[in-house]
Every structure is written in C-alpha cells, then in structure tokens.
Amino acid sequence: MFKKILIANRGEIACRIIKTARRMGIATVAVYSDADARAPFVRLADEAVHIGPSPAAESYLVADKIIAACKQTGADAVHPGYGFLSERTSFAEALARENIAFIGPPVNAIAAMGDKIESKKLALKAGVNVVPGFVGEIDDTEHAVRIAAEIGYPVMMKASAGGGGKGMRLAYSEQDVRDGFEATKREGLNSFGDDRVFIEKFILNPRHIEIQILGDQHGTILYLNERECSIQRRHQKVVEEAPSPFVTPAMRKAMGEQCVALARAVGYYSAGTVELIVSGADPSGESFYFLEMNTRLQVEHPVTEAITGIDLVEQMIRVAAGEKLDLAQEEVRLDGWAIENRIYAEDPYRGFLPSTGRLVRYRPPEGQFHQAPFADDGTGASGEAYIRVDDGVYEGGEVSMFYDPMIAKLVTWAPTRDEAADLQVAALDAFEIEGLSHNIDFVSAIMQHPRFRSGELTTGFIAEEYPEGFHGAATSPETLRHIAAIAGFIATARADRARQGDGQLADPLDPPYDWSVTLGDVTHAVELGEDSVTVDGTAVDLDMEYTPGERLVDASVGSADYGVKVAPTRGGLRMTTRGHIHDVRILPAYAAPLARHMIAKVPPDLSRFLICPMPGLLVALNVGAGDKVEAGQPLAVIEAMKMENILRAEKSGTVKSVNAVQGESLAVDAVILELE
C-alpha cells in the first residue's frame, strides 16, 4: 500500500480524498495556489506545497509543478480528483516515467474514452448504442452549419475534450450554430486546452442517466447501479440522485452490462462513469445511448456511496496499489435513496449570475440532523436517515473567480425518495450562507416541485419549469399565514426586548401584541395572547422560541415545521424558508392605516446601460460608438468562473459611448457601454 498520496486538486474533493486516506493510515500532501493558501484542504493535509499563482493554468494545470511537489515530499502516488489533470494522458504518462503511481485508470483507457470523438468510434465498434451525429473533426463554422443541417435540428455542439457542462451549446437553428460554434471552441481551448468540437443529435425529452463503473487490474469490472443527473442548467448538473426513479431492474441490468462490456474493451480499471442519454419518450426504457465516459471520479459519487456502502476513493486507492476487488456483481447492493444538491455561488434571482466574494457567514446544517460518518455504510447502524456535507470552504474565506463556483455538496440518504427530498428541504433551510449569492432557495424549490416528486424528469426541467426565471419556490396561502404568525411572534419578542430597555429609564410600556403583517400584496392580522395565536381571526397552533438577534429559527405551526432564516430590515424582516424569500413588513395594528399613505420609491431605469453583472474578463465586445443595436442583440461576452456569458441589449438604440475594452477585467456593476 502507498505511504504518501499527493492530491492534485483543491477544494471539497481534496478534503474528501484526504479524509479517506487518513482513515486508511496513508499520509497526504496538498498542493495549493495563491488563492488557496488558507483553504481548509491545505490545513487538513499532513503536508502542503505552494505551486504558483491563482489562475489554474499557472498552478493546478502545470504537471511539472505537481511532479516536483511529489519529489519534494516523497509522495509515491497521486490522486487527481476530478477536473484539472484528472483526464490528461500526458500527466499520467509523466507520473509513470517518474515511478509515481496514478490513482486512476490506465493511460490507454484515458486516451480512448477521454476523447469524445474517439470514444464514440470505439463504442460503435463495440456495438454500443450511440447518439446519431458527426463523428470527426469540424473545420469551421460553415462546416458546422452544413453538418447540423444534415443531422437535423436540434443539435448539440460539444468540445471534444470537455466535461463538467463546459464547452457545450444547444442549437435549434442555423443562427444558433453561427452564434455558438466559436464560443464552444473557445471554452474547450480555455478549459481543456483542446478546441475540437463535435456535433450530435439532441434527443427529445432526454434523461441523463449514468452508470458507475469500478474495476481492478485483475479483470474484475462491476457496475454500481445508476445515478439520475437530468436536472441541469447550461448542461451543468445541479441535482443528482441514486437510484433513478425511471430505471427498472431490467433496464439497470442492460445498461450496466453494456457499460461493463465497453469498459472491458479498453482494459479499464479504477472508478469511472459511463454517461447515457435516455429518451424519456420511450416508456419501455430501451432507448438509451452512449454519451461519453468520464475516466475519473465524479462530483456526484457520494450518492452511489450512500446506496451501495462502497467508499469509491478507498477502492480507487486499493486498485491503484494492485489489490483485487473483494466484491462480486451480485453483492452490489441498492439500499434506500440518496439525493445530492450542489450549492453554487450564483444568484438564481438574477439569471444565475456567478457570485464571488467573501463568505461572511458559513454554517452547514447540523444540530437536529443526523450526520453521516465519513464513507457511511449507506444506512448507518440503525437505518436512520442522515445528511452529509462535502465542502472545502470556511467562514471568512473567499469564493474566487478563478475556479468552479461550487461551495458545497449536500447529500441526504433515507429509506425512500420522498423522505430523502424532505430531508433536503429541512437541511437547506438550516444552511446559512451570507456574503455572496447562492442557489439554496432554488434547489429547495426543486426538491418541493410536484414534477420532481413525481420523477418526471428531463434535462429541460429547469428551462421548462422556470421559463421566466426563478422568483422563489411556490408558496401556498396556508404557508403565508404560518409565516405571518411566526413574524408576529418575532415582532413581539423584539418589542418586549425594547420595552425592557426602555424600562431602565422610565415606566415600562406594554409592547403591542396585535400586528399588521404584510407579505407581498397580502396583509394579515396577527394577534398574540398569553396562550393563543390567531391569524386573520383563526387560531393557529404555534410552537417556537426566539431570542432577538437569532438568525435561524425553528418553528412548528400545526403539523408543519419550518427552519426560518431571519434578518431585520427597515420596517420589518426578511424571512427565508422553504426556498422563498419573504420581505415582511410588520406594523402595530393601530399604525397600519397610516402606512397606506406612504409613497413608494420607483427604481431608476437603467436599460440604456450595459452593466457587467459579475466580476469577470471582457473576452468580446461586438459593437462600438455610433452602432445601431436591436433588442436581444449580443453586445459583449464576459468570462467568469470558466464560463462565457453573452450580454444582450435590453432594447433597440444607438451606442452613445463604450466604457470598457476587450481583455479588461471588470468589476460587478461596471458600465460597459451606454445607449443614447
């Protein structure tokens, strides 16, 4: 067995690998860039080596620096995690030349499966179903337009070396191809050092199903059931679960055996994932097609660990050391249900714009939740539902523009799918993040969505269910009454605290116990007695405690339980629960009539300005002063967190002035240009 492992990665995956290695008695080495000097994974490792500036191209992607760190520390093996160098054949070959073990598959398998174009050719030869498309290199945009027309729209353009949702564009028309082909090439080159693109048919009503593969160097290859990863945004997975609510036992067996045959054809060992696109329009479940194979650990591997009880990182280490798998296919279990939500630094209320900055407050859910021990056996000793949080950030730390925007992964396991989803909602309510925008409300809304609960998923779920953008989870009138009751209780507690303070100087005044609580356009009358609470004249059963200043409040109203994040505002409270932000105005009942005469402040019209929505690099500027523009026309492209974002004109007009230049790094809200 290895004595010391270097982790050629960062963030939560580095922490996760270090924990398993430590449990196995193996020393660990972290490598870090300038931006990660104080990151948790650096402190968690036994040793740490600085490898360069913040940009990944100058640190984590420089193989020579990783190998130098191995030599400096005496590491005899490298675990690459995912992303960065994990699927670079040149890196695995360089390690072999230095007699350093690569904890991953053989070089020939990485080469065969890591290249999407070549992998499709191999899959065709092996008799595996593949999506109709053009398997070969595309010369230029005009060539891409001709190919797309021959295949038939819609089509998907993909970077050949891509992964993680980057370097992908969906095209419904020739104009979409013309607009997106060069951007796809740039993203492939910037993220993977390879600008080759291929085009394939986009399957209607598609579900994204993937099979986890695990093999050793002695010829054993297993499939560890499937994961459903259909809920995606811009082809980036957001929610993953295992098993899939769509896959039947017969379908699971057919998929698994086909994926094992493909892996065997390239002599695969270690952990890997075969991704399949499945037509949800086919009720038989037989229309599944090979999409790609990721020759590495996946971000979503914890849900497979939860239902099988297998620590995938441990098995990767043991396989790399030459050990045999001590498991047969019939022994692979499928126990309960696991769901993973990716917590991203992005603002779902503003079109999912990336968010960077300092984590002023970071408190993962704990307390009332059963925390899974690391690499839990799937159910724990008692079969009790649990949560698992994989993260690599800390309170006071910074989410940088240089890397992926993922803050953490929240995983829940329970005996049933609904129970796992309910636990997600409760844990998300207790997840405190302040200082930057995040998607907690959004994923909570998905967990509660009737279509998610029904299991009727496709990769178009988000676009179809939130066509006008995200504005908070749906909230019933009953829930609004419950929130009003909680707000009235909080207002009373705050008023009572103020009364106690006033009592130091003068006779105490009884605080008001009757409140006018406004949520949105609806005002509720909330009355609190010594032993009763009424909302709009109807008694409610409220059970809660609150001390002024608390940020997170647990309350029960009738049979409903709420975890409510509370922040004071002028005239009321901001209360966030169950995926919805409630800006609540609270007034004593006697003062409510006066509020009707207050004048509302109208926000200024900024539509003539093109404003940078996030910190990033201006990689393209399409217009100049004096140019005529039409509403919806692309004006500029901002690159942030390894993704390109097209900025379009909100209205037609003439460019009055341009305030930025291509190649400039811009701050959030910087004015790029102004229309007359």
Report the catalytic residues.
Answer: 292
Question: Distance between alpha carbon 411 and the CA centroid of its chain, in Å?
Answer: 12
- Distance separating alpha carbons of residues 660 and 593, to the nearest angstrom: 49
What residue ranges in 270-395 does DSSP mark as E strands? Answer: 270-279, 288-294, 337-344, 346-347, 353-354, 357-358, 361-363, 386-391
DSSP track, 547-613? -TT-SEEEEEETTEEEEEEEEEETTEEEEEETTEEEEEEEEEGGGHHHHTTPPPPPPP--TTEEE--
Question: Distance between alpha carbon 257 and the CA centroid of its chain, in Å?
Answer: 30
Cβ-based neighbour number of residue 470 at 10 Å = 20
- Distance separating alpha carbons of residues 516 and 518, to the nearest angstrom: 7
CB of 304 within 8 A of CB of 313? no
CB of 160 within 8 A of CB of 188? yes
Own/partner pairs for 467-472, CB < 8 Å, 24+ apart? 469/349, 469/351, 470/348, 470/349, 470/352, 470/441, 470/442, 470/445, 471/349, 472/349, 472/441, 472/445, 472/579, 472/580, 472/581
Question: Prior bond to 568 cis, omega within 30?
Answer: no
Cβ-based neighbour number of residue 94 at 10 Å = 17
Cβ-based neighbour number of residue 149 at 10 Å = 12
- Distance separating alpha carbons of residues 323 and 220, to the nearest angstrom: 11
What residue ranges in 314-402 does DSSP mark as E strands? Answer: 337-344, 346-347, 353-354, 357-358, 361-363, 386-391, 398-399
